[in-house]
Structure 1
Amino acid sequence: MNAFHGNELTSALVADALDTFGLRHQCLGPGLAPVRSESANPTCLVGPAFTLLAQAAAHPNPASPYQGLLEGMDHVSAGAVVVFATGNSAAAAVWGELITAACQHKAVAGAVTDGFVRDAQALAQSGFPVFNRGSVPYDSKGRLDVVAHQVPIEIDGVRVVPGDLIVADTDGVVVVPQQVVPRLTRAVEAKQAAEHDVRASVARGSTLRQAFDQHGVL
């Protein structure tokens, strides 16, 4: 997706492109939102998925806490989007300031989780994009364990495979299966061009219906 720069690539454009491929259920649930950044720039996150899977901890006082998380963080690469599946658990925060600092040092692009975060103020100040359900103060130690990384996961009924393209912004989070990524650029560019034509037609005095009848997009 190197053909796109700045805010040209949006989750809405990608979702529309996937519709044309018959992939109509690739958006994660509407409850996911980025930690509000102190930057005036809108949050936009694009990159290949690096997956983590968490489940309820087997013991409240584990002898070796965080092992699965630490192993996953050892393997995540620059430019990746960490996608952290918890089964929508509110039992504990799975993301915080220290994980963010480590990911920023490795030039990780950002993170998406169906779980919760903590250290929200520090996350906002960091500018690191983390899409999540909300904030809770609980530590994950003895509550949630990472049991696997780089395995297929599911969030809100959407399958995420390591390497799938993640596109996230203030409208939501879209998962693009790897096999259709090579076709995505052309489809997005076609939708962008059609939307530009609609805007131009309306600016010239066409009604919205006339512009739609002429260009076929809305």
Structure 2
Amino acid sequence: MRIRTLTGRVPAAQVKENPEPIAPGLIERLKKLEDLSGLVSDVLDEFGLEGTVGSTTLRPTLDRTVVATVVTQRNVRQDVTAFTNVSNRSWKMSEIEGINQCDPGQALVIEGVPDVSNMGGLMAAIAKYQGLAAAIVDGGVRDIGSSRSIDFPVWSRHVTPLTGKWRCTTVEINGTVNIAGCQVNAGDLLVADETGVCFVPRDWVERVVDRCEQIALYEERISVLTKREGSTMQDFLDSLYGKI
């Protein structure tokens, strides 16, 4: 458990510890599997875990597959006008602290404010420079051309030019966040691709990886039948509905 040196943009009491990394071998095992979000989603169903969000809700800017542990950030809407904050230079949104608390290879997951940008092109560039794997934003983002141009993948609910820096306050780093109805904690595992995103509680990661590999072997046996001349419908039925 550790906290990086703070930027000062979020009060220290509101920045929680980043859990220790999970075993890197578990992440590498998952990365070898195909159709990953669908596979992980099926396993979450088997274990009774709610952690899947489709890409019609959180839309990707790039066709990438990301497997990474997460740092979380929660933003709330301010109760004063953007003009007041611009006039007073009162800038309380702080993706920079969320990025700062990430280790290289981690992803930043933001419970954001809808219809305003919770991350723009400059912050995406800093995140890329710092070695982040991706950002997931339940809220708006902007400058997606910039994030695409540097190959930094972002999944978001909204895309808008409207800045959040005068409209949002970052109230917590590495607390529990709600992402499209899914509870996500710091150190949980993110699996994201063009189909959707899945969040795996860190205490379940090893069991989920083991089960994903079992199902992948089962699906490979069926795939082989589709490439083999002479396969019959009975062959497919036997493979599909036998015990996994």
Task: Give the TM-score taking structure 2 as reference length.
Answer: 0.78
* C-alpha RMSD over aligned residues: 2.2
Taking a change above 3 Å as real, the CA distance of residues 98 and 208 of structure 1, as seen in their structure-2 partners, is farther
After TM superposition, the structure 1 stretch with the greater mean CA deviation from structure 2, 53-62 or 204-213, is 204-213
Deviation at 1:202, TM superposition (A): 3.1
Kindly indicate whether residue 232 of structure 2 is the aligned counterpart of residue 211 of structure 1.
Answer: no
- Percent same amino acid at aligned positions? 29
| Cα shift readout 1:87-144 (whole Å, capped 9, x = no counterpart) | 5x11x11111110111111101100011111112111111101001232111112212
Deviation at 1:4, TM superposition (A): 3.8
Matching residue of 1:53 = 74
Task: Give the TM-score taking structure 1 as reference length.
Answer: 0.87
Query: Which of the numbers 148, 169, 172 marks the counterpart of 1:124?
Result: 148
Matching residue of 1:153 = 177
SS at match of 2:99: helix
Distance 1:135 1:34 in 2: 11
Asked whether the equivalents of residues 98 and 108 of structure 2 are also in contact (C-alpha less than 8 Å), the reply is no
Kindly indicate whether residue 132 of structure 2 is the aligned counterpart of residue 108 of structure 1.
Answer: yes
Matching residue of 2:59 = 33
Larger radius of gyration: 2
Where do 5+ consecutive residues of structure 2 fail to align?
A: 1-26
Deviation at 1:215, TM superposition (A): 4.2
Asked whether the equivalents of residues 52 and 83 of structure 1 are also in contact (C-alpha less than 8 Å), the reply is yes
Matching residue of 1:39 = none
Query: Which of the numbers 66, 84, 89 marks the counterpart of 2:110?
Result: 84
| Residue type at the aligned position of 1:46 | V
Kindly indicate whether residue 163 of structure 2 is the aligned counterpart of residue 139 of structure 1.
Answer: yes
Asked whether the equivalents of residues 7 and 44 of structure 1 are also in contact (C-alpha less than 8 Å), the reply is no
Deviation at 1:214, TM superposition (A): 2.8
Deviation at 1:57, TM superposition (A): 1.4
Instruction: Please list, as runs of the form range in 1=range in 2, the aligned pairs for 1:187-198 lying within 5 A after superposition.
Output: 187-198=211-222
Asked whether the equivalents of residues 187 and 202 of structure 2 are also in contact (C-alpha less than 8 Å), the reply is yes
SS at match of 1:73: helix
SS at match of 2:190: strand
Where do 5+ consecutive residues of structure 1 fail to align?
A: 37-41
Distance 2:31 2:177 in 1: 29
Asked whether the equivalents of residues 68 and 105 of structure 2 are also in contact (C-alpha less than 8 Å), the reply is yes
Distance 1:188 1:52 in 2: 29
